[in-house]
Amino acid sequence: MRESPFVREFVILSQNWMYNDNPNNTIFKLYFEDHELLRQKLRMLENYGLIYEITFNKVQRFVLSEDLVEYLYCSKLD
């Protein structure tokens, strides 16, 4: 997030999938292979209202809440 402080969207993918990003819309990518129980952890964040699912195609897409972004930035400063 430090390199892209205004990016709020991310997708979850397998490293085996091909994904064509939009070069005009930077997003983060999280890979199932890099994060154990990724979907279950994201569901918990959804339940607390910290992320929102905004999927519009076959790839699950989420947006970070500003509360979560603020928390992440503040925790890195401590």
Taking CA atoms, 29 is separated from 7, 38, 74, 77, in Å, by: 11, 12, 22, 24
53-57, Cβ contacts within 8 angstroms, sequence gap of 24 or more: 54/9
pLDDT value, residue 60: 96
pLDDT at 78: 53
Is residue 3 included in any domain, yes or no? no
Q: Is residue 33 part of a domain?
A: yes
For residue 4, tell me if it sits in a domain.
no
In the chain, how many domains are there? Answer: 1
Q: Which residue segment(s) compose the domain that 14 sits in?
A: 9-77
What is the pLDDT at residue 77?
A: 60
**pLDDT bracket for residue 33 (50, 70, 90):** very high
Question: For residue 14, is it within any domain?
Answer: yes
* Cα–Cα dist 66/31, whole Å: 23
| Position 27 in a domain | yes
pLDDT value at 20 more than 80:
yes
Q: Is 26 among the domain residues?
A: yes
Residue 24 inside a domain? The answer is yes
Say what the pLDDT of residue 10 is.
97
Element (H, E) at 28: strand 28-31
Confidence at residue 70, expressed as pLDDT on a 0 to 100 scale: 92
